[in-house]
Structure 1
Amino acid sequence: MKAPDEPAGPMRAIRGRRPGALLLGLAGLFLLPGPGAARLAESDLARVALAPAPGARVPMALALTDAAAGPTTLGAALGGRASLLLPLDYTCENVCDPMLAMSAAALQASGLVPGRDVGFVLVGLDPRDGVEAARHLLRAQSVDSARALVGDAQGIAQLTEALGYRYAVDGETGRIAHPAAAVLLTPDGSVARILSPLALNGRDLRLALIEAGEGRGSTLGDRLTLLCYGYDAVRGVYTPLVNRILSLMAAATVIALGLGILLLHRRSIRGSGA
């Protein structure tokens, strides 16, 4: 995996707002270059989006096949951890390749270990792609930290419906126009955030995963950072919460002054006793 850190970009939070505005249909234009793009009508491409409903949760019991370990369920693949779920077309070489590579690089930069601290799970969108297609993509991008899953048409439909993940398939070429997006899940499979895998950096991904995991795998520095920073849904990065930082600094100043006064008072008592 390549070294980080790419500049942070437009992640989109879904907490506290209706996610219908999370329209990522432009990704489909990149996935169908040249003549392939013309075969899908604008109305088809306009429906390409990722818009989870409030409280959306993935089907944890969904039966899938792990390209490395065989039959499994989505819940088993997530492993009870905050996870980065990346829906992909395993045979797409336009956007899916860099999506996987950049996500893996951001995870590496985060310092969190997939399979131990967090989950990193890929799910194929095309039921015609089997485990060999998934393995080929992992080898091509030199990624060994992700669990690549494949499923049948019914299972993929169940997952994408639960996520509000809408894509379009060109009936002539078989190409798929889909959102260039990753889904951040809590340990119970609930959708926490929608992220742009093409604009991730290690720090922001680490903070997002720690938030989704309710502090699991965090250090004291992470907790202090989350205390002083908040997720900016417009810019897609964690930015300083100025009022909170000023309050903490003021409190620290008061404590320091109090300790100083106490120390001087003790010294004066010792001096008068002498």
Structure 2
Amino acid sequence: MRRPGGGLEEMFSLDGRVAVVTGGTGVLGGAVAAGLARAGARVGVLGRRRGRAEEVAAGLGAEGAEALALRADVLDEGQLRRAREELLGRWGRLDILVNAAGGNVPGAVLGSGEDVFRGLRVGAFREALDLNLLGTVLPSLVFGEAMASGGRAEGCIVNVSSMAALRPLTRVAGYSAAKAAVENFTRWLAVELSRRYGPGMRVNAVAPGFFLGEQNRGLLIGEDGNLTPRGRAVIEHTPMGRFGKPEELAGAVVWLCGPGASFVTGAVVPVDGGFSAFGGV
């Protein structure tokens, strides 16, 4: 991994690097995959639906990037290992892992006015924990092993957390708890890898504020195109007064993965328009 010392462009360059993005078929994951590719990385787009992963990879290829569609469920270690071997067979190395897979589980959200003791479904809560926490832990172990092996011990893992980890969102129980655990795991793994394998192994996270995606659009934007009451509450508590754009998350990830962040590990970077800084008054 090249160290800072060249020009500004070099500090943000990912030329020669190989990355894999779990959840690369989603809105945010796809934007991150595109950002890494535009910075010069070859990118494995990993998702549960091969057809959708192939579409995203083809789109990157049309922009001149090298991209590979990988099919795997982030909760299936065997599928992850097969995807790792496919990627290594193509490019022979792995430098970057972005864990963007995850999301909310409807049953782990209390209905409006629903009582917590009757409405919180433990099975759905566990499903949210598995998807977001284990769906980060397992890829980190499988793909991180490839970075640490072979005497090179250089690589960067970036996990995707959420504002819900810092400020639990009303009614959103399982997802908030899972993302808080993702941040704790991020810091733990950063310490473990640096102490065991050296400073070339780094682990960080980004904590997005509110970006419009497939899962939350209906909660934030009404059928008439106007903000819902919850959407208005979000904007009122976001000093920049708008939702984030997917490419704005990608910019932070590119920085964390590049030489310009070579002394950054164990950090959780908010990308939230000031949401986490605002006290409400």
Q: Scaled by the length of structure 2, what TM-score is found? A: 0.26
Task: Indicate the structure with greater helix content.
Answer: 2
Structure with bigger gyration radius: 1
Larger RCO (alpha carbons 8 Å, 6+ apart): 1
Q: Scaled by the length of structure 1, what TM-score is found? A: 0.27
